[in-house]
């Protein structure tokens, strides 16, 4: 699939990037491992926030939503509406909300309740059409299911800390 894949964990209002597999066409000049970004503006974060709409979503959204790009959702009601669409669709979309020219698709990993980990796939927007988007979403859904099936059954706590990052 030669796209950039990320694995991250929700830590308060941030997504912490724990692993990255970079594409040979990677657009960013730096590795994201260890980096923190606001959960409300990342595909991984939005996939996890959508899972919390009925419980503690506000605990993970800052009072002031600061844009990272012109596409970042900074209106609270628009963000909540996007999170509802995310929940219905089953995955989140970051439409150049963190980095101009990059679209990301995020998938919550549901081996804890509520989920704290997620996967995302970053794609140069110029290389994305409807067919490619469908291919990526299907591949990521298969990956999510495979990871969830392999997870130990005793991962019942969502209080797993992100220490040392």
Walk along the chain (165 residues) in steps of 10 and give the mean pLDDT of each run.
89 94 64 86 97 94 94 96 97 94 96 94 92 96 95 58 47
Q: What pLDDT was estimated at residue 32? A: 73
Angstrom distances, CA of residue 50 to CA of 16, 31, 33, 110, 160:
17, 26, 23, 12, 19
Report which DSSP code applies to 52.
Answer: T
> Which residues, listed in sequence order, are joined to residue 4 by a DSSP beta bridge?
122
Residues constituting the chain: 165
Q: Give Dmax over CA atoms of the chain in angstroms.
A: 42
pTM confidence score: 0.88
Q: What pLDDT was estimated at residue 164? A: 44
Q: What pLDDT was estimated at residue 26? A: 56
Q: What pLDDT was estimated at residue 153? A: 63
Helix (H, G, I), strand (E, B) or coil at 103: strand
CATH of 4-150, one of 3.90.1330.10, 2.102.10.10, 3.30.450.40, 3.40.1030.10: 3.30.450.40
Phi-psi category of 34—alpha, beta or left, where left has phi over 0 and alpha has psi -120 to 50? left
**Any idea where the domains of the chain sit in the sequence?**
4-150
Q: What pLDDT was estimated at residue 27? A: 56
Helix (H, G, I), strand (E, B) or coil at 58: helix
């Amino acid at each position: 699939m030669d796209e950039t894949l990320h694995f991250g964990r929700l830590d308060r209002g941030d997504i912490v990037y724990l692993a990255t597999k970079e594409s040979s066409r990677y657009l960013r000049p730096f590795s994201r491992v260890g980096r923190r970004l606001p959960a409300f503006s990342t595909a991984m974060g939005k996939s996890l926030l959508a899972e919390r709409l009925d419980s503690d979503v506000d605990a993970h959204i800052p009072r002031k939503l600061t844009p990272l790009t012109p596409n970042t959702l900074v209106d609270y009601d628009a963000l909540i509406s996007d999170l509802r669409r995310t929940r219905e669709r089953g995955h989140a979309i970051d439409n150049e909300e963190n980095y101009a020219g990059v679209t990301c698709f995020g998938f919550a990993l549901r081996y804890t309740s509520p989920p704290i980990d997620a996967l995302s796939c970053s794609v140069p927007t110029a290389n994305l059409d409807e067919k490619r988007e469908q291919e990526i979403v299907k591949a990521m859904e298969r990956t999510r299911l495979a990871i969830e099936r392999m997870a130990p059954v005793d991962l019942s706590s969502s209080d797993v800390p992100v220490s040392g990052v």
